[in-house]
Amino acid sequence: MKKFFLIIAIAICATTMAAAQIASMQQSKTDKAFNSFKERFVLALWKQYPDWASGEGYHKYDSILVLPDNKERNNSITFCKAYTDSLQKFNIELLNDNNKTDYRMVMARLEAQQWYINNYKAYQWNPATYNICGDFAEMLANNYELLDIRLRNFYLKMKNVKAYYETAKQNIINPTIEHTQLAIDQNEGGKSAFSDDLTEALKKSNLPAAEKEAIVSRAAEATTAINDYIVFLKEFKNTTPRSFRLGEELYAKKFEYDIQSGYTAKEMFAFAQAEKETLHKKMFDVTTSLWQKYFGKEPIPENKLAAIKRMIDTISVNHVQPDSFQTEIERQIPVLTKFVNDKKLLYLDPSKPLVVRKEPAYMAGVAGASISSPGPYDKNGNTYYNVGSISGWDKDRAESYLREYNHYMLQILNIHEAIPGHYAQLIYANLSPSIIKTIFGNGAMVEGWAVYTERMMLENGYGNDEKEMWLMYYKWNLRTVCNTILDNSVHTKNMSKNDAISFLINEAFQQKAEAEGKWKRVSVSQVQLCSYFSGYKEIYDLRTALQQKQGASFNLKKFHEKFLSYGSAPVKYIKELMLK
């Protein structure tokens, strides 16, 4: 009797195992098929969009310049429809988590691509869409291939420049004044790729003289085409210019496609409004508690925002000297790393230290700091932390910059850009390599993570809970919140320039120059300014939800590592998988 039971038990066990094995084999079979689909898809994508390919470091189609005409747009739609069909042949439920998110990201992108052509129609109203200069300049500056080979591709690609700009002129119907000006500035600024930059490159080249001459003469034609385009834009009889404001309907949809949030643009706007009030309140509380320390018996101003501003200005005087800006950043990186390790916030791979360097000349101009990482086809490339140089700036400009990136803010900047912000996220993304996520990486997740880590570090005691640090953090965080409010208000609520500037100065405590710059940015871009706050909010909410669900067993380090293991996927997909 006993023996009989045992046999049955073993038999049952064997069947369950077999079922599990079959399930896992089936899964890996689907995953295998999906992996090869992705490879085919990406190669086809590059063939369809050669410029995009070159930009990602895939140089097979460098010599091709596609004309932005109706034929191209129709091809693009056909391409998207065909790949949507192939995608639908897969059962998403059978894919592993990595492939599940890839599947949805490709699907969303194919849909977005069609919407951009059919509904958004930037090709009609944004003349700045037509600018070849950057791609050509890249061919000269970027050392991915022998110079002479790059120059030959440069020559071949130039063949279509004239036709390209002729097509552009035909496409433009009712351009906005702002994008028209942007197009003039950018084409004007970029055309040196066909003169000075090219001359420099030709000096270093070993091509035969006849070939060099052919290049020079074709470059002259390209320059003429660009100049003609600039004249065309300057003389354009724009009797009914389109507004640069996107309007509610298009804005909502663009938000959906670009941010891929679990919330609508409207909902995110409401969250940002509420968050702004919360931050103001917190900032006033900190200001009140610091007041005596800095102002003694002087009474605190009745206007709360004015009191906060006064405190921020006072604290900002604590900053490094111009010549130690970069060394201070270098000093902080190991300090941040040690803090993350000691507090067990996230595993950081010690074999991949971050290289801090002075911003290279070709990136020049934009001071500040940024992370540059190798593209999907440059696996051995280094990741750098580029630090903009302020040497050579006049005294006032440098002082204003150093006050902005004062003692406290500089640390928050390093958390955001480097550890455990962008740089750490990047290393994790590379651990589960997905070319789909490298190409279609979700900006809101990437920025959201960096913004999230700022608060997370302070919450865990970074900066010793110093009140000044918190105040500066709130100011920094308020910028992302106000970016969302500004973007939405300008594009869907007709916010005027004056109102926008005073909003940024009075409610976000920005300098006039910064506010003016932001206005310029919001008048030629839409939705992107929302990505920081959207991603941050969704990550923070996800953490709260998991804390509630897991109670005492919630572990912050595990949460971070698990979250990052999904790569640069939209937070809403990661959320679904993590809450499952």
Q: Give Cα 192 to chain centroid, integer Å.
A: 27
Tokens of 568: 């640069």
385 Cβ contact list (under 8 Å, min separation 6): 329, 333, 354, 355, 356, 357, 369, 370, 371, 417, 418, 423
Residue with tokens 């490298």: 438
Pick the closer one to Zn ion by CB: 319 or 437. 319
The smaller minimum CB distance to Zn ion, of residues 450 and 471, is found at 450
Q: How far is CA 555 from the centre of its chain?
A: 29
Token pair belonging to 34:
């999906």
104: exposed, middle or buried (Cβ count in 10 Å: 0-12, 13-18, 19+):
buried
Q: Where are the alpha helices (DSSP H) in 68-195?
A: 70-88, 97-115, 122-125, 133-141, 147-158, 161-171, 177-190
Closest to Zn ion by CB, 450 or 485? 450
SS3 241: coil
Least distance between Zn ion and beta carbon 324 (Å): 13
Query: How far apart are CB 577 and Zn ion at their closest, in Å?
Result: 24
Determine contact, residues 168/229, Cβ cutoff 8 Å: yes
Least Å distance between CB 398 and Zn ion? 9
Give the nearer residue to Zn ion in terms of CB position, either 11 or 317. 317
- Measured CA to CA in angstroms, residue 259 lies from 5, 162, 253 at distances of 57, 36, 10
Maximum Cα–Cα distance across the chain: 98
CB 31, min distance to Zn ion, A: 32
Q: Give 447 or 454: the residue with its C-beta nearer to Zn ion.
A: 447
Nearer to Zn ion, 215 or 450 (CB): 450
- Closest distance between Zn ion and the C-beta of residue 281, in Å? 26
Cβ-based nearer residue to Zn ion, 230 or 450: 450
Minimum distance between the CB of residue 579 and Zn ion, rounded to whole angstroms?
26
Please, what is the minimum distance in Å from the beta carbon of residue 202 to Zn ion?
Answer: 38
CB-based contacts of 334: which residues, under 8 Å, 6+ apart?
A: none
**CB of 266 vs Zn ion, minimal distance in Å:** 25
Between 450 and 472, whose beta carbon lies closer to Zn ion? 450
Give contact residues for Zn ion (rule: CB under 5 A).
Answer: 447, 450
Least distance between Zn ion and beta carbon 431 (Å): 20
Q: Rounded to an integer, what distance in angstroms lies between the CA atom of residue 61 and that of residue 46?
A: 8
CB of 336 to Zn ion, least distance (A): 16
Query: Based on CB atoms, which residue is closest to Zn ion, 447 or 468?
Result: 447
Strand, helix or coil for residue 369: strand
Among all residues, whose Cβ is closest to Zn ion?
450
Among residues 178 and 454, whose Cβ is nearest to Zn ion? 454
Burial 484-493 (b: 16+ CB within 10 A, else e): bbbbbbbbbe
Q: List all residues 6 or more positions away from 579 whose beta carbon is below 8 Å from its beta carbon.
A: 542, 545, 546, 549
Identify the residue whose tokens are 């917190």.
282
Q: Tell me, what DSSP letter sits at residue 527?
A: S
